[in-house]
Structure 1
Amino acid sequence: MLKITTKSLLLLSSLALGSVVQVRGVVFGGADLSSPLLAGLPGEDCVKTHLHEGNPVGEVVPLGGMDTYVSVPRRDSPGPKKIFIFFSDIYGPLYQNTKLIQDQIAANGYTVLGPDYFFGDPIYLHDNEPDFDMVAWFNNKTALARAATPLWLEAVKQKYGVNGKDVKYTVSGYCFGAPYALDVAATDDVVAASFAHPSRVTEEQFQKVKR
C-alpha cells in the first residue's frame, strides 16, 4: 500500500497551485494563487481500495489523444442523446472498479466517456514500489491532464456533437477529476455537473460555475 508522508502532502499542495491551461477563455485544472483552495490534497485513504467483482462491458477506444473508456446504454432512450463525461480519481477510468461504475451509469441510459488522462500509468501500478515518488507522479499526471483534457473535450464535441437540442452532456469528477468537472461546469457545454470527494478545487472555480 502506498504511504503519503506529511512532506509529500506539503509538496503536493505546492504543485496544486501550479500552471494552468487556457482554451477559449476557460482555465482548466488549475488553482489560482489568489483563490483559496477549498478542497485539500490527496490523503492516505485516497490510495486505499478493494477490488470489486464484475465483468465490465465497455470498450477502450482512442479519442482526442487519450484512450477512453466508452460504455453505452443497453437500449436507446427517447429524446436527445445523453453523454456522461466521467473524470476519474487517481485509479483511472480503466481500473476494474471504475469501469463497473461507468457501466452502471450507462445502464441508466447514458453513453459514458472516461478519458485516461494518466496515459496508462494510474497510481495502482506502483503499489509494490517501496521507493515510488508519489510527488513526482502527481506532478507529472497533473501537468498531462491539464494539457490533454481541453483537447479531448474538443474531440468529444466533434464526434458526438455540441450540447444542444440533439445532444445533452453531463459531467462528473471524483477526487483528482473534480477540478476538471468544475471547469466544464463553467461553460455552456453541459446541462449538469457534479463531483464527489474533490481535491484541488478553488473558490474561483465555484464562482464560475454555470451548471
Structure 2
Amino acid sequence: MDTTSSWIDIQAGDGRFGAYLALPRGGKGPGIVLLQEIFGVNSHIRAVADQYAADGYVVLAPDLFWRSGPRIELGYDDVSWARAVELMNATDVDKAQQDIGHTVRALRAQPGVQGKVGAIGFCFGGRLAYHTAANGQVDAAVAYYGGGIHNALGRAPQVRIPLQMHFGALDAHIPADAVARIATAFEDNDGVEIHVYDQAQHGFNCNHRASYQQRAAAQAHGNTLVFLSDHL
C-alpha cells in the first residue's frame, strides 16, 4: 500500500499519549482522526488508517486507552473481549473527548494536512465520533455501529456538522428500534445520513472478526469516501 506510517506523541493535560499517523502518497491531503474500537489501536485499526491514507487522507489514530497502559492491542478472542470491555468501562469519556481535541489540533498542525479535518469511529469509537460531531471538534464525522448513540440523543440538536452513520440490520448490540430512534432524532437534519446494511452484524467492517461482511464493508467504505469528498 502506498502509505508511510509512524507513531507520534501528543501532549494532553495529564500526560502524553501515542497516535498512529498514516500519510498518503505525496504526504498531503485532508485530515482524518480515526477512533478505535474497544480493542485499541490494533492491527485492524492501523490497517483502516493505512486504507484511508491510500485514499488520499492524512490519518491520525489516537491511543485512547493510554491511561490504562500505552499502546494496548487486543485481538477478538474471548479473553481479549473481556479485557476490552474492562478497558472501555475504565475510560473516562470526558477525558477521551479531550484527547480527541488534542488529536485534532495535532493533526491540523501536521504539515501535510490541507483543508478540513474529519473523524471516523468504529463501535466505541463510533460513539465518540458522534460526541465529537456534537462538540463541533471536526468539520465532518462518520460513525460505524456506534454503540450507545441512541442513549445520547439529547445531544442531537448540537450536531451542526455533516454526520454519517452506518449500522448493520442484524446488529445484536444496536437493535433496529435503537436505529429507528436515532433516525427520528435526526429526521429534520439534512446534514445527517444514516445507512443500514442488510445481513450485516456488529463489526461488519472488521475482516479480523467472524461478523465481517464484505459487501456491507465495501458499500460503507464507498459511502464514506463519497461523504468525505463532499465535506472535507
**TM-score with structure 2 length normalisation?**
0.54
RMSD: 3.3
Identical positions, percent: 23
In the alignment, residue 70 of structure 1 is paired with which amino acid?
L
In 2, the alpha carbon distance for the partners of 1:129 and 1:182 equals: 25
| 2:189 paired residue number | none
- Cα distance in 2 between the residues matched to 1:76 and 1:123: 29
Secondary structure, counterpart of 1:68 in structure 2? strand
Name whichever structure is richer in helix by fraction: 2
Unaligned residue ranges in structure 2 (runs of 5+) = 162-232
Matches within 5 A, 1:125-136: 128=79, 136=86
**Aligned equivalent of 1:179, options 121, 127, 133:** 127
CA distance in 1, matches of 2:126, 2:76: 22
How many residues matched?
A: 149
| More relative contact order, 1 or 2 (CA 8 Å, 6+ apart) | 1
Take 1:133 and 1:176, find their aligned partners in 2: how far apart are those partners? 14
Map residues 1-211 of structure 1 onto 2, 5 A cutoff.
57-64=4-11, 65-75=16-26, 81-93=29-41, 95-119=42-66, 120-124=71-75, 128=79, 136-140=86-90, 142-143=91-92, 145-154=93-102, 156-157=104-105, 160-161=108-109, 167-201=115-149, 202-211=152-161
Give the whole-Å Cα distance in 1 for the aligned partners of 2:142 and 2:77. Answer: 29
Instruction: Report the structure, 1 or 2, having the larger strand content.
Output: 2
Change (3 A) 1:117 1:188: closer
- Measure the CA separation in 2 of the matches of 1:55 and 1:108: 10
**Equivalent position SS for 1:210:** coil
Q: Matches of 1:208 and 1:135 in 2, distance apart?
A: 28
Distance 2:65 2:48 in 1: 18
Identify unmatched segments of 5+ residues in structure 1: 1-53
- Alpha-carbon shift at residue 115 of structure 1 (Å): 0.5
How much does 1:186 deviate? 1.9
Distance 1:99 1:199 in 2: 21
CA contact (8 A) 2:3 2:53 kept: no
Give the TM-score normalised by the residue count of structure 1: 0.58
| Contact 1:178 1:199 survives alignment (8 Å) | yes
State the shift of 1:85 in Å: 0.6
Distance 1:135 1:88, change over 3 A: closer
Residues 135 and 198 (structure 1), Cα distance of their counterparts in 2 relative to 1, 3 Å cut: closer
